[in-house]
Structure formats: structure tokens, C-alpha cells
Amino acid sequence: MEYFASELPDELMQDGSVSLTVEMQLMHYLELYDLLFESSLGPYFRLMYNCVRQIEFLEADDNEREVYSKILRAQLSSAEVKLLMFNCSTNWGMDFKWWVEKHELLKHLPKDDQRRNPSLASEYDHLRSRGGAI
């Protein structure tokens, strides 16, 4: 996952100047996804989607669902969180985005990734409320 995440272009350069528009970032992500990532990341995102789907439809109270969400979130590396943010910004991930937000799966997106990708990070309330994005 580290390799895949390292291939993604950031919106801003280290000095804060604009490197790419969000549209160009997502276009680059989709090109890489089609050429290199799909065979590895496609099954990964489908599995994660179905894990969260199971949490959603579990016959349990909200507290128990939250416990399972936290377990899933704890398993995500920084690279996986960044890839999830990009994936949920595409047409493929839009259905998943609501659940990612609800379960705060991007909660541990590194501050550096938030700072270099403010437009994408600002789409998530749980990142904005921490003061990390925007």
C-alpha cells in the first residue's frame, strides 16, 4: 500500500504552492488505478466496503457498531487511509464515502497528507472538526 500511496500526486507542494488541481489529482489517480492499482486495490476496497456494510447491518446498538468501526479503523495504515480518501472522491467510491464519514475511517489521516491535500480532506466533517483540514 505504501507504494501505491507514494505514487499519488499531492495538491500542494511542500512550500504550499499549488501543484495540481483536485480534478487533475483525481484524473491521475484514476489513470494509475486503471493501469496499476485495480488488481490489488479493487479487491481491497470491495472487502473494506463489505466489512463496513456488515457493521451497518449488524443487529447491535450504536455503541457496539462503534467498537467494530474502531477495530477496522485501527487496522488502517497511513497509506491505506490516504488511498481511501482518494478512492472515495471518485465515482467508484462515492457510495462508500458516506460510511467512511460516518465511521470516521479517515480520522488518522496524517496531518501532512491533510495539509498537502486540503481540497480532498475538507470533504470530510470529521477531519474539519479536528482542525486538520481546510
Q: Do residues 104 and 126 lie in contact, with contact meaning Cβ atoms separated by under 8 Å? A: yes
Rounded Cα distance, 109 and 106, in Å: 5
The DSSP output letter for 33 is: I
Rounded Cα distance, 26 and 93, in Å: 12
pLDDT given at position 3 = 78
Burial class (CB in 10 A: 0-12, 13-18, 19+), 100: buried
pLDDT given at position 17 = 83
pLDDT, tens digit only, all 134 positions of the chain: 787 888 888 888 877 788 888 889 999 888 888 888 889 889 999 999 999 999 999 999 999 999 999 999 999 999 999 999 999 999 888 899 999 999 999 999 999 999 889 988 888 877 765 544 43
Rounded Cα distance, 99 and 5, in Å: 21
